[in-house]
Structure 1
Amino acid sequence: MTLLESLSEIVCAGSVARVGLGSSSAQIREALGAELLADRDRKALRLDYGMLEFNLYSDRCETISVQLHRLAGDPGIGATGVLPIGQRAEADTVALDDLQAALIRRCSLNLAEGDNRAGYRCYRVVGRHVMIYVVSGGDIGDDSPGIGDIWSINIVGAG
């Protein structure tokens, strides 16, 4: 499975490795393993698997982020949950146009432009709680995605 195919599956399903919003930290660790960084602040917990982050509150997942920009900075970064075990990404960036075409083919999903931020365009996946952030300018370094490339994909709660 390619990185593009994996990303389109994540967006279409609204989950990663059968773990989604509302999952507990135990369910996430069971699905993805115990090799991670964890940060706790009172009732908040962040589980960081390299390209993949889960943000929990009161032990329930509220946000899942696929941090694609980390791949451009470190092609060897862990892709647990994003790619099959042991597989490395064949590219270090993914263009929005490529993901958009894959989403239309795979699950007939379209994008709507959302609230833009300095240096990023934001797209909402219609019918899903998924936001896609795309580089649109700013200070782009050699180890960053280029203009038109995806910075991150976030699966967020309805609130």
Structure 2
Amino acid sequence: MSALDFYAHVAVCGEVRGVGLGAGPEAWEAALGATCLDVPGGGLLRRDYGLVEINFSPDQPGRQGQMSCFGFGVKIQRLLYDQSPNTVPSPLSREYGEFAPRVPFKQLQAAILALGRTIELDKHNTSSDMDCYRVSASAARIHVVADPDPYGSGDPDPDGHQRGDVWSVDVW
């Protein structure tokens, strides 16, 4: 299994190591480990594992104090500038090996198509600098760099993101 397999699995199945929408913080910790940054605010909780970021909200009334995931993202863009050992949770590194700092959309698209799904441009969530693609029968959205120089400085970072790089895979 490779990092590309991981990204395709998240996009098709909407889960990370068997955990996805509706799971509580304990389930995510069991899947990704205890090394993370919790950022509470406004009654919500954002749990940041570096590559993976999870959002939790309080459960239904009657289940006081319990939270469940209402969305998460695999933030591939972080790998380009933060290559510290903790950016990729160790359970993912052990299972999928090395995570490259750049993922071309064409490669991810081919991996998803090989799993029997289709991908289409989501025109409602596409902007001038970021394309958004929807995966069939999935809650996943794939964000892809459309303009590596969105502010028009004329000097995009040659080591930075390039047109066609996957920015993130988000599940909501």
Tell me which structure has the larger Cα radius of gyration.
2
State the SS of the aligned residue for 1:72: helix
| Per-residue deviation, residues 110-150 of structure 1 (Å, max 9, x unmatched) | 11111212310010111110000000102543453211010
- The equivalent position to 1:71 in structure 2, one of 55, 62, 79, is 79
Matches of 2:128 and 2:96, distance apart in 1? 36
Name 1:144's counterpart in structure 2.
160
- Which structure 1 segments of 5+ residues have no match? none
| 1:62 aligned partner, one-letter code | F
How many positions carry a matched residue from both structures?
A: 154
| Per-residue deviation, residues 41-87 of structure 1 (Å, max 9, x unmatched) | 13200010011000011111011100000001123352125443694
The reply to whether residue 103 of structure 1 matches residue 135 of structure 2 is no
Name 2:55's counterpart in structure 1.
55
| Per-residue deviation, residues 81-108 of structure 1 (Å, max 9, x unmatched) | 544369432x211111110100111x21
The aligned runs of 1:1-159 (5 Å cut-off) are 1-58=1-58, 59-76=67-84, 77-80=86-89, 82-84=92-94, 87-89=97-99, 91-105=100-114, 107-114=115-122, 115-137=125-147, 138-139=150-151, 140-142=156-158, 144-156=160-172
* More displaced stretch, 110-119 vs 95-104: 110-119
Once the two structures are TM-superposed, the CA of residue 40 in structure 1 deviates from its matched residue by 0.3
Q: CA RMSD in A?
A: 1.8
Matches of 2:53 and 2:139, distance apart in 1? 16
Retained in 1: the 8 A contact 2:38–2:45?
yes
Retained in 1: the 8 A contact 2:3–2:96?
no
| 1:88 aligned partner, one-letter code | E
| 2:6 aligned partner, one-letter code | S
Q: TM-score, normalised by structure 1?
A: 0.88
* More displaced stretch, 38-47 vs 138-147: 138-147
Matches of 2:13 and 2:93, distance apart in 1? 15
Are residues 109 and 40 of structure 1, via their aligned partners in 2, closer, same or farther at CA, if it must alter by over 3 Å? same
